[in-house]
Amino acid sequence: MGADRSARISTAEKETAGLLWVVGLVIIGYGLILLVFGFLPLGLLDPAWQLRASAALTGAGPYLLIGSLLACMARAFNRANQALVARVKLLRRISLWAAIVYLLFIPIQLQAGVQLLRQKSAREAQTLSEWQKFRARLRATSTEDDLRTLLAGMKQPITLPAKLDIPVATLKGRILADTDSRFSAFRFQAAQDRAARWQNFLAEATSNVLKTLLMLTGFAALAQLRPGQPSILQKGLILIRRKRSRGSASA
């Protein structure tokens, strides 16, 4: 009876180990699909791509982490399967590289966000500069031909009637008034948009950094260089405790 019961337990443990391993791989595969398609198309030096890649990492992270955890748990139910033990050992080593990737992406996503903000601010500044140049050239016009040439050379050309119904000075004044109104509205809206972008960036950056730190901590808890050794997270905590104990002893 004892032998039969032991055999049934052994069979159940093997089945549990196999189930955990397969389900873990399925969840890892799901996370990898999210990650790969989040990275495409590639643009390594593009700040927009770097932010998209960071979002893909944080989005796929929970699936990769939970899948890795389930796969690693399979070894606890079937330690006799050396192939399974070797695969789990490899997976825990890969977890170290995953933790490093998440660590590296913290400054990358912050820098990419700041670069995008600066690019948008630079485009707004360029538009404002073009408005000012147009306004200065408009003020400098003195003849109908000069006014027609200026308006025809705009990005969105304005064609005046063949014969003007009002004096050039009056038309010029109206255009200046309209230009000043549009310029003031654009400048006001640009300032509001700039403040809103920085507020959104700070909120999103804080959220993404915290998510990345959580994923980093999770993979560091799984990461192990050699069987029987503490995980990378445990090693880090041990070092911190030693430094604290030394500091308290010296004090």
For residue 214 the two structure tokens come to: 């959580």
pTM over 0.85: no
63 has a pLDDT exceeding 80: yes
Query: Residue 28 has what pLDDT?
Result: 96
pLDDT value at residue 8:
56
Structure tokens at 165: 């119904």
Q: What is the pLDDT of residues 66-85, one digit of tens each?
A: 999 999 998 888 888 888 88
CA atoms within 13 A on the CB side of 183: 17
Lowest mean pLDDT among 80-84, 144-148, 190-194: 144-148
Higher pLDDT, 7 or 175: 175
Q: What is the pLDDT of residue 251?
A: 57
Q: What is the pLDDT of residue 211?
A: 94
pLDDT score of 137? 85
Question: Residue 243 burial by CB count (10 A; 0-12/13-18/19+): exposed, middle or buried?
Answer: exposed
Give the CA count within 13 Å in the CB-facing half-sphere of 158: 8
Whose structure tokens read 């009876």? 1
**Weakest mean pLDDT among 77-91, 105-119, 154-168, 219-233:** 154-168
Q: Give dist(CA 241, CA 50) in Å, integer.
A: 36
**Separation of alpha carbons 41 and 87, rounded Å:** 31
The band of 6, judged by pLDDT with boundaries at 50, 70 and 90, is low
Question: Cβ contacts of residue 87 below 8 Å, gap of 6+?
Answer: 21, 71
What pLDDT, in 10s, does the model give residues 25-38?
999 999 999 999 99
Closest of 172, 176, 165, 162 to residue 142, by C-alpha: 172
Q: What are phi and psi of 164, to 5 degrees?
A: -80, 140
User: Average pLDDT for residues 226-237, to the nearest whole number?
Assistant: 80
Which of 47-56, 109-118, 198-207, 232-241 bottoms out in mean pLDDT, i.e. has the lowest? 232-241
Separation of alpha carbons 135 and 149, rounded Å: 14
Q: What is the mean pLDDT of residues 200-209?
A: 92
Rounded to the nearest integer, the mean pLDDT of the chain is 86
Of 149, 154, 148, 152, residue with least CA distance to 134? 154
Instruction: Write phi, then psi, for 204 (nearest 5 degrees).
Output: -70, -40
* Nearest in space to 177 (alpha carbons), one of 139, 127, 133: 139
The domain segmentation of the chain, as residue ranges, is: 2-238
Question: Taking each helix axis from N to C terminus, what angle separates 144-152 and 82-140, rounded to the nearest 10 degrees?
Answer: 170
The string of DSSP codes covering 48-66 is HHHHHHHHHHHHHHHHHHH
The burial class, CB within 10 Å (0-12 / 13-18 / 19+), for 235 is: middle
**What's the mean pLDDT in 165-184?**
82
pLDDT digits 0-9 by tens, 96-143: 999 999 999 999 999 999 999 999 989 988 988 888 888 888 888 878
**Within 13 Å, how many C-alpha atoms sit on residue 121's CB side?**
13
Average pLDDT rounded to a whole number, residues 44-59: 90
